[in-house]
Structure 1
Amino acid sequence: MQIRQILATAAVAAVTAPVALLSVSPAYAGTNSAVQTQEQSSIAELRQAAKEARKAYRAAVAAEQALEEKVDATTAPEHPLMVAVADAKKAAEAATKAKDDADAAVVAAEQKLADAAEADKAAAEQELAAAKDAAATAATAKTAADDKVTAARTAVDDNRIDLLRQLDKAQKDVKATRAAKEAAEKALADAKDEQPGPDEPTDPQCKEGAALDAALSGLPSKIAAGSTVDFRLRLTNGTGRTLDEVLPFVSVGADDKANGKDISGKLHLKSKQGGTWKTVDQESYAGEFTNVKASAHVDLPLRLTIDRSAPAGFGASAAVGAYFNRDASCGVSDYAVYEFTINPVGAGNSDTPADKDNKPKPQGSSSPVANSGSGNGSADTDGSLASTGSSSALPTLGLAGGAAVVLGAGAVYVVRRRKADANS
């Protein structure tokens, strides 16, 4: 399975069930039967996720169709609001005719007064006054009837606009649920395709949470959009033996502070490999180190650039290390998540590192742990290792939290495959 497939699997699990996310990375420290049980459990969870995704998609399509029918019905003559418009028009037409008749009566009364003999003028004047009163009443009635027509038409327009807004949201829901369904189905298919065969080693020696420490340093707690910051990943070998190959994994993610929308595409990560800055695609390891002595550490320079167009948001960088030895032993460190805030363009970057308020903690732990020492001195950790649920930012950073688990799963997979190749 490629790491991108593990990413898809973890993404589906993160949406449908947080517990399923943790099952993406197999537990290789157990027996073969335990590993097989874990993989079967993951398949079952992914199958359930795909079922729920298909159900959500069908519901979204049904909602969209229902709204389309409602929108089409808004202009049908039999629609209650259209009936109200028709009735208001009839009343307005009658009021207009009544006003025209009343105005004509006034004209006739004025002419009668002009032609009346002296003895008849008083009666003619009374008749004219009555005609003018009737015309004024008719004019008021016509204005009221016209206002009712306007109100009826406005009700039709408001109803249609409201339904169109609902339809727009429903169409977006269809698009989102379709994407989720396709991702869930692909993750399930990939997981089925990549189940280990009967002769494939399950690697009980490949340890998760091994004595390999991963820590980021130099990452500011606040970064302005449009800026670039340099930091580093330090991997410290606490295994007590030389590690033939050490692989660093790093990921970044962010959410819009205003609406929680994923804005990770506006973050660009590079690592310095062989003296050259190279893009980290976050679907593979970010570099490679060999012959790392016991108690020594290795550093990977990193560079994060945030687009000027990025909105204010919550960000996080996740890191994990893996090792592989020629004797096929292997292991993966606990992962670390370091949080930062994205500020508007020109706001400047903070001099405060992400670990100002917290000491690093292993994933799933509630108590701080000391930094692993190295032959070059103790590790310099300028970040805080966030534990699940401990941060105000992490509830909106499902992407970053999920990325950390995915990194661990990807690292386990890489060393597992390399061990299998070494044994073949």
Structure 2
Amino acid sequence: MKIRRILATAVAAAVTTPVVFLSAAPAFADTKPAPASTQKTTPGDEDPDFDEYEKLVAAVTKAEAKIAALDAERDGYEKKIAAKDVGEAVATELAEAKKALDAAKAAKTTADETLAKAEAALKKLLETPAEGETPPTEQQKADAEKAVADAKKAVEAADAAKAAAQVRFDAADEASDDAMVELFRQLSRIDKELKTAQEELAAAEKALEEFENGGLDDCKVDDAVKVALTGPKKVTVGTSAIFSLRITNTTDRVLDQVEAYADATPLLDGEGPEDENGFFKRYITVEWTGAGNPHWSPVTEDFDAVEVGAIAKGGHADVKLRLTLDAKTPVGPGVAFAVGAYENNDKTCGLGEEYAHANFDILAAKTDKPKPQPTPSETTATPTPAPTAGGNDNTTQQGGSSSTPVKGNLAATGANENLTQLGLAAAATVALGAGALVIARRRKAGANA
């Protein structure tokens, strides 16, 4: 994804003109090029880098949601601890047990007092009566002794009730303590999970950042691969036109896998057309053919590449592009564009720093109705402009038609998906201006919805 961010920044000049040469450093963090044999894509394949990006974003979102949930759970336990919220059942039992214990203690106090009074009365009754006093009767002594015995039994019952109440209260109190301990244990558990979740979030954010921003040394922008694109100046709506694309290896070594990315679009006020949802409208179907690909293969929204294969040092390969204009293609200016890229077996890779383009006029389809002819007037004929050269060493051409035959030694290797996406994203930027990358991403997001 780094290439798209770099290109979006570098393409400020493209807002005023649809054709510029960009200089940026494309890279995909943690996305090492795989062997060519495993890179073959077919129309309709999913974008693996977009899928990876979505997975990384999902991992960050999931970690953030987990942290938010744990934070909320922790707040809940902190409030319970502050309120000593041990649960309704435990709290109710503790309250009732304390009430029963208090009652048992009060009953024991009353029993003890009653016993003390009974014992005091019996003691006084048994004392030697003073001179002139009447001694107690045997019945009075028996009643006093019975009162003491009854009081002792009441004290024993009070002791037993108090002991039972104490056991009940101790159990309820222990249950309450256990509940509080459990609250603190849950708080500790949450803190551990929060630490893990925060580490997971940090790792997910790092992976996403590296995917978006890292790996600048993996691929580079250079002039190792240059492209030249030529084609007719005028194309009629509802017809097809053949454009020629030459891909040149400017280095002093063999480039093991060379690819090009091409597309075309009508230009309305210098920008690519959008549909009612703001997505990029594909009015023009682009197909390619070459020695390694004898049949016409479409360039799709999945950013399929023009797979050239290996090119010897200083060599080149030629392919043809067939542009077919939909019947609803807006008339006016149009542009075809292409950029080259390469990947070597030693894992070096790069994107061309120059983007070939070929401007053409989109003409309305012919009708059978005769049109009134304007009165001829003397005018000065404007000569048709010759194909212009751009970039370094005049390798990027635009306009005009070409009879260059398809030739070159092309290897039928698989396309590198990383280069495919970043390459066509770059080419789209050239043609459509600063909004092209956003449109391409939105289109892809819509396709995956």
TM-score between both structures, scaled by the size of structure 1: 0.40
- The structure whose residues are more often helix, as a share, is 1
Q: Could you say which structure has the larger radius of gyration?
A: 2
Tell me which of the two structures has the higher relative contact order, counting C-alpha pairs closer than 8 angstroms and 6 or more residues apart. Answer: 2
